[in-house]
Structure 1
């Protein structure tokens, strides 16, 4: 009997010590007080009234929190946070804060003696106006009288979902300073994001490159996720839409993850041939996008009555896509870095912070580790890091593509020059061959025909037949003359010796006086250019004269050579149909004009053509190539002219 009584007394003493009053947080002149080892958590399977909850404090085992980030994992019951306050000075107000914005019910009670009063009845399940402090996260003011002690009990209810967040206890002045600092950080984040967005908008608008459009969509998803996660969505966009924050955050995080995968595919130029993970990235992006939008949208129709198994399924899908997304990203980066894809290095640097944060966040959700405030504080710096590095990478990508474009344009220009050179050389070779064939073959044949006709004429006795043969003589003579003129135009004899001026003079002199009267004018001291340059100028002028004879219906035409100190100007002007002929033929340039422009570009000359009702003016400016200048003769008198009638 004595032994039993003794054991009972010992158990009573132990229980009394175990359930005795906790040490209060002493409120002095500090600006912030730690809740670590001073606040306690316990869970009840059923919801208790404030009286029952305070009464049960001495009947349950309380677990002191070890740090000011609570991570309770998936909770099926009701979580109570308890701590005592002892004001050691004058009356003041302290504020309890909780930065997790999607807890459905946050109810705060205070017990002084036997009196229990309510400090807050708020939460995600109630309109935003229910918050005692209209702020993007939970802030509960506690007014303390001088030298007052009080027990504080806070209910955190989010059944069948994860409960976590950072808690704190601040003086009123420190709380205001914290609000100002948080607002400044968010404003800085939005300012940087807006600058990067506008920069990429102008790049997309000017380049029409879809990678910038994807980046802007990804950036909008990032900014939306950050602001919603910080509670600004509930504060400003849907203050009466209850039970919605978790679902909307999940949906926006899915959009962020999917746009990130789409951006990676475009940014790294992933194709079915360049990456074995191309299809995985493609379909995972669509899977995350569809599941997050469709699933969360359906749940938002009746957010307060979503069954527990649906919530668990959604959380499982969330963890699956976080893990799958991380695995795919790492696999793609390893592959592309191995292939020396420079864009992959930039993207790895941009997402390094985010990948580490995702892993830590996932392990925290699974209650494997408790990463403390890092699970929420990583949001803004990691996203700023990602946006800045990716924007820098897009700038590098743009500069690289621009350099490649200029290199390609230069290569195409060189190739075009070589092609033009080959075409012109082929034309000249063919002209020389045709001119030689006409002179040697057809010219000799006509001479033979003429001699044979002369011999036949001498043996004819029939006057009529002799008269017919005599009539053929002028035709043959004209044919020989035309043949020499055509051969001369194809390749002027001794062009390399006589030069451009003399060749053009002969060309103008060879033109018939009707219906167009041609004049030839030379001004300045003659300078010889390279033979191929002069030959191409001759071809251009010859083509222009041929066009005038065919189409212009001009009465007068002037061909002028103006030798300046540093360049030669050739002007071909007529008083023909001009713009009337252009209107009749359409705006498309003819083959001759196209060939002339091609030759001008080939020799580095500039060709202008002005057409009016009074006729047509074509000007050709040819810069002197100093290394090839050769003065052919003594300078002739300026303004020397010659007219051909």
Structure 2
């Protein structure tokens, strides 16, 4: 029995070549993918078989397949097919994988000996002169004699735990070179688009310093690296970077890319401060990424120790972690849907092709539901380009939404400033009226009563006490008049800006700073709120001169021009020679002055030098519509 088994295995291989289905290669043959019924793989190949001469001849030991796929069940696998060429020529055999660690190919014609074909034997030999041309898959030159059946045997070996699978294709050299050229141009265009996108992202990050650009760049780099390495282009890396081309590293690229995309999505769907605050709970985006990184190494160790139960368990945990990515992303999408953000549809449309690709290939191929040796990298390349294109174009739409949100916020802030200023002026008018009518009347009545009482008494000491109280009452009246004037200059609406400023300057004490007032041009009345805010600005500047400038002279000039009125406040004080830091109140005063200038559409600029300080306020004449719309309450306008 044992001797019979050995005889069965050592039958001449030429007979086995004639027994199987033979693929004819006509004279006009250019290319073909070897599939059923011409392609076979050995069922449960013994690990001890090292050469084609030891293979069993009986087809009962072989399985007809569409492509070679041993999955993770065997580290060594054998393929065979037979062809019959109509002419004597050399064809190129392509094994569409780069994930095999070593490969050996044998051929035998009807009247020729069994011989091994020279070519790349190891994983890193693909892009070397061992192949007919440098290629990212395993490539061999097969000499086929005319009018003879030639059988080809392929032995592949992978590290235990890795999936052994590959497709088989046969080309004429010219056809292969043309096919390779198209493939190279396709990848070159893809890399060019990716580099253009990354260049734009880097420029945007340099100017904006926002994390979202780094996350988008990380996503593009990781997915592009996954696509390139998964298609075998890592074979062209130098030996010092060979670890980039390992299966474990390729999965890491995919994991890091998904993590970057989830974090990018949260920021992409946010266009304003309000939507940032709506994301009350920030999901632990990095947790699935960290767990999957650990699982990848753990799975590799489980395969090396031949612990399939642990490996399958870790695979399930890994898919659960990828489900964590999906759940976090779903929560962000749900938040965007609740805000009725149009960006969510753009994001879903962009990634739908890529998600569909990974859903089909990750599930169907990894679980053995389809027998494709490798995911279709052309489809992935197109899906990624579509996604990158939509997302890159989506930046323009997102930028438009952010500009609209920013403009809306500016409008709201401007309206708030308007309301605050109008409320302040209305309150000033009310307080000034109350002080003048109530407290002013009370002080006047008190003064008359004291005068009447002092005239009725004959006591000298009492009359002297009433006389001493008179200056205090007078000072109180003067202070009340000054405070009321500062709150709302008397008859401001009737007199106008220039007379009110002239009166303000005349009221300033002559020491330590002597003020002067200059008026030039034909006076043109402005709406009351413009004049009142300009008056407030000049009043604040005068107070700053008293407090900080230490000036001897200062001047307020009003120049009425054809299209605007210019007000300058100048002093010969310390200027930039001041060594004291501005106080908090000074900063508030300058900020309020700038706010008022912005509110009335004026330009306020300040020049500080050793000669002193110059402040210029330019107020353009408003349109009649503005004057009708912006008049203060209870004002003549």
Superposition TM-score, scaled by structure 2 size: 0.79
Give matches, 1:244-393, under 5 Å.
245-264=246-265, 267=268, 283-293=287-297, 295-296=299-300, 306-309=304-307, 313-314=310-311, 317-318=314-315, 321-322=318-319, 325=322, 329=326, 333=330, 336=334, 339=338, 342-361=342-361, 362-370=363-371, 375-393=376-394
Q: Quick one: structure 1 residues 71 and 344, their matched pair in 2 at CA, closer, same or farther if it must change by over 3 Å? A: farther
CA contact 2:571–2:613 (8 Å) conserved in 1: yes
Match in the other structure for 2:192? 191
SS for the counterpart of 2:150 is strand
The aligned counterpart of 1:29 is: 28
Are 1:499 and 2:500 counterparts?
Answer: no
Q: Where do 5+ consecutive residues of structure 2 fail to align?
A: 1-14, 628-637
Stretch of structure 1 that moved more, 233-242 or 156-165: 233-242
The answer to whether the 8 A contact 1:40-1:62 is kept is yes
The root-mean-square deviation of aligned C-alpha atoms, in Å, is 4.3
8 A Cα contact 1:552 1:578, kept in partner: yes
1:585 Cα deviation after fit: 4.8
Residue matched to 1:426: 427
Instruction: Indicate yes or no: 2:554 matched with 1:523.
Output: no
- CA offset digits 1:420-445 (Å, max 9, x no partner): 33233323432343344553222443
Equivalent residue number for residue 572 of structure 2: 575
- Identify the residue that residue 41 of structure 2 maps to in structure 1: 41
Judged with a 3 Å threshold, the aligned counterparts in structure 2 of structure 1 residues 38 and 517 are, in CA distance, closer, same or farther, namely: closer
Distance 2:23 2:469 in 1: 136
**What secondary structure sits across from 1:80 in the alignment?**
strand
Does the alignment pair 1:110 with 2:107?
yes
Flag structure 1 segments of 5+ consecutive residues without an equivalent: 1-15, 300-304, 631-645
Residues in 1 aligned to 2:535 and 2:344: alpha-carbon distance in whole angstroms: 57
Cα pair distance change 1:448/1:315, threshold 3 Å: same
CA–CA distance in structure 2, aligned partners of residues 258 and 363 of structure 1: 23
How do 1:467-616 residues align onto structure 2 when only pairs under 5 Å count? 484=481, 487-513=484-510, 516-549=513-546, 552-580=549-577, 582-586=578-582, 589=586, 592-616=589-613
> Is this contact kept in 1: 2:136–2:236, CA < 8 A?
yes
- Post-superposition shift, 1:354? 3.1
Q: Could you tell me how far 1:135 is from its partner in structure 2?
A: 2.0
Q: Quick check: 1:124–1:244 contact (8 Å CA) kept in 2?
A: no
Alpha-carbon distance between aligned partners in 1 of 2:19 and 2:613, rounded to the nearest angstrom:
111
Match of 2:79? 81
| CA spacing shift, 1:331–1:59, aligned 2, 3 Å | same
The CA deviation at 1:247 is 3.2
Query: Is 2:237 the partner of 1:236?
Result: yes
- Output the CA distance in 1 between the equivalents of 2:191 and 2:244: 27
SS at match of 1:380: helix
**Could you report, residue by residue, the CA deviation over 1:189-213 in whole angstroms, capped at 9, with x for unpaired residues?**
2112222223333344444443332
Provide Cα deviations, 1:250-307, integer angstroms capped at 9, x if missing partner. 343333444444445555679999799957x7644432233125655x68xxxxx923
User: Aligned ranges for residues 59-138 of structure 1 at < 5 Å?
Assistant: 60=60, 62-65=62-65, 67=66, 69-76=67-74, 78-89=76-87, 91-112=88-109, 113-120=111-118, 122-124=120-122, 131-133=130-132, 134-138=134-138
Q: TM-score with structure 1 length normalisation?
A: 0.78
Q: Judging changes above 3 Å, is the alpha-carbon distance between structure 1 residues 454 and 142 closer, same or farther for their aligned structure 2 residues?
A: same
What is the alpha-carbon distance in structure 2 between the residues aligned to residue 472 and residue 604 of structure 1? 49
- Distance in 2 (alpha carbons) for counterparts of 1:511 and 1:331: 67
Within 2, Cα distance between the matches of 1:543 and 1:448?
Answer: 38
Structure 1 residues 24 and 50: alpha-carbon distance in aligned structure 2, compared to 1, 3 A threshold: farther
Deviation at 1:332, TM superposition (A): 5.8
Measured after TM superposition, the shift of residue 139 of structure 1 is 0.5
Q: Residues 452 and 485 from structure 1, CA distance in 2 versus in 1: closer, same or farther, beyond 3 angstroms?
A: farther
Considering only CA atoms, is the larger Rg found in Structure 1 or Structure 2? 1
Q: Number of residue pairs matched?
A: 598
